[in-house]
Every structure is written in structure tokens, then in C-alpha cells.
Structure 1
Amino acid sequence: MLRTVRDAGPTVLVPLAWLVVAAAHRGLVSDHALLVAHVVMAAFIAGFAVTGWSEMDDGALRAWRAVLVVGLGVTLSGIAGFLLPSEPLRAVSIVGWMLLPAAGLLYTGYLFTAARTVYFGAGWLSVAGAVVYTISLCGDGPLVLVGIALVGAGQTVGIVDAAMRDDREQ
């Protein structure tokens, strides 16, 4: 059961996380709720890394292990950003989580030629979303949500494809 949760959990958690980010930008989620979400996310990331460490020893999975390790640090910066409070630390967290998985997706596409289009598309969609999000923060207008939506779509496509491929290989 732990393996099922570890393998399928991100297919729900990734899009849910980006929906929460979008809701937060619309003022629908409190800072306290975001702090709690970061703490829960840090626990999930640590759990995924610990329980899957030995399985993530080579190829694309090794890159994703690095994403988890660096991502834990990025998430901890978000926690610090809510506790201090510090907008730059919060920005490191959100933009970090936009770009880290994008790098993992692009690297996966590089290695996994059978699904190169899926992973390159998902990765570049995430990069585009991060760029739109970062540029639009100056005005905090509707493009912020467009950037979040692009990142969410790219990362969701990538994680769902990975989960479906993993299920077919078992």
C-alpha cells in the first residue's frame, strides 16, 4: 500500500498544490493554511525521498531524487518565509517548485526517447509558466494565474504520464 500511495500520490498532490497556489493568489487561502501546507509538503517530500531512495538510483529517477532533495530545501525556505515573514523566501519556494520539476521533466525527456515529446512539452510548459508568473508579479494581474496554470498543467501531464507508465511496467 505504501508503494501505491508513493507512486500515485503525486498525481493528486501536484495539481492540488497548484490549485492552492492559485487560490492563495486570489486571497482565498490564509497564510497560516499555506504554512501548514508547506509543513505537510516537507513531510511528504521527505517520506517520498526516504522510502524511494534506493529505487531512485540511476537514470531519470536519480534526477528526480535530486529534485526531491533540493525541493525539500526550497520548501523549507517557504516555511521560513511564512515564519519570519519574508517575501523573498516565499518567492524562492514557489519559483523553485516551478523550475525544479521543469528541469526533471526536461532531463527525463532527454533520457526517455519513447516519451520525449510528453516530457519536453511538460517541461517547457512549466518553464513558460514560471517566466509568465515571474514577469507578471510586477503587476500581480491575471497573468499570475496564467503562469500558475501553465506550470500546473505541465507538471500534472508529466506526473500522470510517469504514473501511467509505471503502472504498465508492473
Structure 2
Amino acid sequence: MFRRARELGPPLLVPLAWTFIMAAHLEIVTEHTLFVAHVVMAVLLIGFAVTGYADMREGVLQTWWRLIAVGSVVTLCGVVGLWLEPNNSTLMAVALFGWMVLPAVGFVDTGRRVSDGSWIYAAGAAGCLLGGVLYAIGHLWGHQTAAVGGLALVGLGQTAGIFDAAIRY
């Protein structure tokens, strides 16, 4: 059962996480709720990295294991950033942009290793990077719609890639 949860968890948790991030940016959830979500995600990521290591020691799975390990640290940056009073925007940006970029690296590596369907990973990487740029522009210029649209693009790109990977591997 634990193995099945590791296989099916990411395709469910990735879209949930990005939906939650969009809700936070729209101030639908509080910063405390966002802090709790980061703590839960850090625990899940660390648990996934520890329990999945034996099955993820080679090939593309090794790439993803490394990204999950780095992502655990990135998520902990978000935990600390939200815990500090006042919030540390640099640490929170590390968490947000880290999770926009890390999966793009994994999608590029996965796409170059598969013989069919590599387009989904190229689309996932493009969604991550273009969405990150759109978010940054929207955030810097105060355009909430562009910022949330960027988050949605990241979420869609990552969801498509992770669903394909879960089915494929």
C-alpha cells in the first residue's frame, strides 16, 4: 500500500499544491494555513525521499529523487520564511520559484530519455518556465490576473507531466 501511495500521490498532490498556492495568492487562505501546508508538504517530501530511495537509484527516477531531495530543502525554506515574523520574502520566493524550476529540470531529463511522448515533458517544462516568468511579471507589476495565470500555467504543465510519468513509470 505504501508503494502504491508513492506512485499515485504525486499526480494528486501536484495539482492540489498549485491550486492551494493560487488560493493563497488570492488571499482565500491565510498565511498560517499556508505555513501548515508547507510543514505538511515538507514532511511528505522528506518521507517520500526516504522511502523511495531504494526504488529511485538509477535512470530518470534517480533524477526525480534528487529533485525531491532538493525540493525538500526548498520547501523548508518556505516553512522558515512563513514562520519568521515578519515573513521572509526571500525564503518564500526560493520556495515558490524553486518549485517552478525544479520540475522543469526533471521534465527535460525525462523527455530526452523517452522514445515516445516526449512532447508532454517539453510542454511541462515550458509550462513551468513560462508560467514562472508570467507570475514574476504579474507580481512585480501588480497584475494579479497575470500572476495567478502564471501559477495556473505552472500547475497545468506540472500536472500533465507528472500524470504521464506516473502512468509510464
Normalised by the length of structure 2, the TM-score is 0.95
Which residue is 2:129 aligned to? 127
> Which string of whole-angstrom CA distances, capped at 9 and with x for unpartnered residues, describes residues 53-92 of structure 1?
0111111111101111110110010011011120111011
Aligned position for 1:3: 3
Give deviations 1:125-161, integer Å, cap 9, x for gaps: 1111111111221123210011001100000001111
Deviations 1:16-39 (A, max 9, x none): 000011011111010110110000
The answer for the alignment partner of 2:162 in structure 1 is 159
One-letter amino acid of the counterpart of residue 104, structure 1? G
What is the aligned partner in structure 2 of residue 24 from structure 1?
Answer: 24
Matching residue of 1:15: 15
Q: Specify the alignment match of 1:97 in structure 2.
A: 99
Matches of 1:135 and 1:61, distance apart in 2: 33
Q: More displaced, 135-144 or 100-109?
A: 135-144
Match in the other structure for 1:88: 90
Alpha-carbon offset, residue 2 of structure 1: 0.5
CA distance in 2, matches of 1:157, 1:140: 28
Q: How many residues align?
A: 166
1:57 aligns to what?
A: 57
Residue correspondence of structure 1 range 138-149 to structure 2 within 5 A? 138-141=140-143, 142-149=145-152
RMSD: 0.9
The aligned amino acid for 1:12 is L
- Tell me the SS of whatever aligns to 1:137: helix
Q: Is the 8 A contact 1:130 1:151 kept in 2?
A: yes
Structure-1-length-normalised TM-score? 0.94
Provide the identity percentage.
44
What residue ranges of structure 1 are gaps of 5+ in the alignment? none
